[in-house]
Structure 1
Amino acid sequence: MPKLNGAPLDCGAALERWGAMVFRLAWHTLGCREDAEDAAQEVFVSLVQSKSTFRDEEHLQRWLVRCTIHRCRNLSLSAWRRHTVPLPERWDVPAYGSDPMDQSVSEAVGRLPTPYRQAVCLHYVEGYTALEIGRLLGCPRGTVLSRLSRARTLLRTYLKEEVL
């Protein structure tokens, strides 16, 4: 059983607190609701089965983000996924609002490469700073800033294409 500060971890409380974040990150990474649900479920099953001791809630949160990214990577590289044909409109993340422009932004984010999509999700949706994202992803702050900058450039290009 995992522990937090030496005491047994309430995994139900962890699911309540970080379940939505894990699911959103998986959804933005994989672009498919069903795969995101599977990945998020596997992350919390791993937490329940873990014998890790977490120093504090930030340590637990970082572990959940890293575990989510690893699960998504494993799922996207699996032989099963490489041999399946996606449905015509795979990127089904709902728009951030009811405005049609929000829908086009959501679709443009879905076209970004995975590392850029993860950085955008963690920064703009979850509200993390570049330094925090770097800690979560295990990369330097400068790399995160580059990914965000390149993602914004690609988003501008995608959105201009849509207007034309």
Structure 2
Amino acid sequence: MDLKQHIRGIPDFPKPGILFYDISTLLRNADAWQVAMGRLAHAVAPAQPHLLAGVESRGFLLAAPLASKLGCGFIMLRKPGKLPGRTVSLEYDLEYGTDSLHIQEDAVKPGQRVVVVDDLLATGGTLAAAISLLRKVGAEVTMAAVIIEILALGGRDRLGVPATALVTYES
């Protein structure tokens, strides 16, 4: 199955000049969704993760069912003020400002193998920050997994871990 047929491009979203790759069309197609989850499971399983870390918010949609399928735990990397209890945070630069990710202080035991999951790998800023935050709390980040990678933006080079993408676009 060609998963690209189930991902629509929305021009000028969230701002002019950006082509947004919308996975909601893939998620609502039962067959495409099952194929995507199967392919992600096949790609991630060899990393033998203890945990999958989903990046807010679309990463949650992928990481939670994938963790269930692989029989491992799921943890959330969230925006400020969204997690209860004590958290550890990391601020990072974006092409249009700064942002931060938070994780619950006790979400990872030192040395646990973690795969970070999100919908898209573009410039790599958010995924690189997620990897740094996970390492900050003692995780052994073994790989990153995404549905879509935009090759022209070179984000993979910023990660420092192997990455897998189900579909790629040049730009």
Quick check: TM above 0.5?
no
Considering fraction of residues, name the structure with more helix: 1
Considering fraction of residues, name the structure with more strand: 2
Higher RCO (Cα < 8 Å, 6 or more apart): 1
Structure with higher Rg: it is 1
| TM-score (ref. length: structure 1) | 0.27
